[in-house]
A and B are shown apart, each in its own frame.
Chain A
Amino acid sequence: MIKRFLDQAYLYHKGRSVAFEAEEFVLMEITYPLITMILYCLVATFSFKTTDLTCWVIGNAFLLCTNACIFGVGIMFVKERQYGRMRSIIAAPCSKLSLILASGVFPTLFAVCASVCGLVVGCLVFGVTFSGVNLLLVALTIIVAMISATFFGLFISAFGLMNDSMHLVLNVVSYLLMIFTGAEFPIKQLPVAGQVMAQIMPLTKAILAMNRLFEGNIKDFIVLIIAEFVTGIVYLLLTFVVFRVAERVAQRNGKFDMF
């Protein structure tokens, strides 16, 4: 069962990356997001008139997962439809949860790599220092954040069963992450509705937790990291629910697409 899970994970990754050379894949998953991070850190340097870019490096390093977790995972069911596997997935008598989870394995790994690269670049380019910060807790925060973002990406991907405009949806979602996670500016600047929205979004609490870790506030850090993990789990459960509904409707109507 584990072998099948890993095979499925690898097959999905292969489907995504086979058209590209290794360096092109790295360009897409890591280099390009890093340039995006540098752009927004430079905007912050100018707009907030600060040289201490720790908050923005942390926030944007976490947002580097967008390519893998949102655009990579979010397009999952659209790709399955293109590959012609949708029929098999809907009709197969096996658990769909493992299939959904398997598609998130490699994007999560790439997202973790991208975030680590983001923090390293932040250190080298913007002078962010890790002295006095517990690196194990940094690693834990990155892993929890990326799992949460991947589950959010899977939740969004389930809507690919119901509409054919996933590129539009995913691009809007990527901007919503920039606006509502506190990566680019403090959440308290948002109106009350925006602040509520921010709490629902993935990564918000992980970014805050990492900032607390840099400040040395471990108590708040633990609460926030647990909250981020719970947010991710909620998104996973919601994915499963949305998929089940879509599956039932597809079986009842004899259609593999709901739109």
Chain B
Amino acid sequence: MIKVIISTMILQMKQSFARPMFRFCLIANPILNTILLYEMFRESGATNYMAYVTLGAGLMGLWGCICFSSAGDINRERFSGTLALIFTAPARFPIIILGKIIGNTIMSLLTMIISLMTSVIFFRIQLQLADPLYFLIALLAAIISFIVISSVIACILTLSRKTELYMNCIEIPIILLCGFAFPVSVLPFGIRIVSYTLAPTYAVELMRMAVWGITDKAEFCEKLLVLMILTLIYALISAFLYKKIDRSVRIAATLEVA
């Protein structure tokens, strides 16, 4: 199983990087987002640009890569005529998809580095990371949560041939609801409730806490626990969806045309 995941990861990384759109999401998107957010926050009086500009742009890039690659891979397999093959392969479809998603997510982490480099090179923003260890813990939890979310999205989009439309339509709402570029407290109360059902909201808050410095370790642990519980729930949903979709696809036999 691990061999399948690793070989799929490597293949996926090569295939993704060959696509101009993925190169945009991976390289150009974090640079342009950093420039845009820096100019928007320049007059804000903020002293630590890491929290909203660098981290915000990096996360927006990371999420963009997930939307336009992990979510769209099913459709690409469909167009290539290989979807039915990987669906029925003895290696199991969820394992192959997991390998693809892990490959994409690991490569997408480059957006965080590019965003950081853009901040330092173009705007001379100082790297202010108060608690690197906590940041690493938050980042790891965020990566796991993004991988699980991608698998849920990939599962749902297996049934649709309008993947291009939907993957375009999930990018901005999540950035908005999860507070990638501003605190969730800016949102109205009703929308904030939706935000707190989404795992990335906690992931972003944890990373931001680590950037500023942890003053309340109990609060950090509490948010980390909620993030892990939500991630687990998403994983269960993904497994349930896969079983449902697998059955429905085998009965209808319309996987290649959805």
Size bracket of the B interface: 20 to 34
A-B contacts besides A28-B165, A39-B181, A171-B28, 16 pairs, CB < 8 Å: A28-B168, A32-B169, A35-B176, A44-B40, A45-B182, A45-B186, A47-B41, A47-B182, A167-B24, A168-B20, A172-B24, A184-B36, A185-B40, A189-B39, A189-B42, A190-B39
**Once the chains are docked, how many angstroms separate the CA of A32 from the CA of B21?**
20
Q: Which residues of A contact B33 (CB under 8 A)?
A: 175
Contact B44 A42 (CB under 8 A): no
Check: B23 CB closer than 8 A to any chain A CB. yes
Contact of B28 among A36, A39, A168, A189 (CB under 8 A): A168
A38–B28 touching, CB < 8 Å: no
CB A159 to nearest CB in B, in angstroms, measures 13
Give the interface residue-count category, chain A: 20 to 34
Asked if A82 CB lies within 8 Å of chain B CBs, one says: no
Q: Closest Cβ of chain B: how far from A4's Cβ, in Å?
A: 31
Query: Chain B: which residue is nearest A32 at the CB level?
Result: B169
Closest to B25 in A: A171
Query: Which residues on B sit within 8 Å (CB–CB) of A164?
Result: 20
Question: Cβ of A130 < 8 Å from any Cβ of B?
Answer: no
Which 5 A-B residue pairs are closest in the complex by CB-CB distance? Answer: A165-B20, A175-B32, A46-B182, A168-B20, A39-B176
Binding site for A on B (CB under 8 A): 20-21, 23-24, 28-29, 32-33, 35-37, 39-46, 52, 162, 165, 168-169, 172-173, 175-176, 181-183, 186-187
CA of A175 to CA of B52, assembled, Å: 18
Say yes or no: A167 contacts B172, CB within 8 Å: no
Q: How far is the CA of A40 from the CA of B32 in the complex (A)?
A: 14
Q: How many A-B residue pairs have CB under 8 A?
A: 89
State A20–B43 Cα separation when bound (angstroms): 42
Given A42-B187, A179-B32, A36 contacting B169 (CB threshold 8 A): no
Contact B36 A175 (CB under 8 A): yes
Distance of A165 Cα from B33 Cα, bound (Å): 20
Q: Contact: B176 with A42, CB < 8 Å?
A: yes
Q: Could you mark each residue 145-186 of chain A with 1 if its beta carbon is under 8 Å from any beta carbon of chain B, else 0?
A: 000000000000000000011011001100110110000110
Question: Of residues A20, A43, A48, A175, which shows the largest number of chain B Cβ atoms within 10 Å of its Cβ?
Answer: A43
Complex interface: chain B residues within 8 A of A179 (CB): 32, 35-36, 39
Complex: A84 Cα to B197 Cα, angstroms: 46
Whether the Cβ atoms of A168 and B169 lie closer than 8 Å is no
A33-67 residues at the B interface, CB under 8 angstroms: 35-36, 38-39, 42-49
Residues in B whose Cβ lies below 8 Å from that of A185: 39-40, 42-43
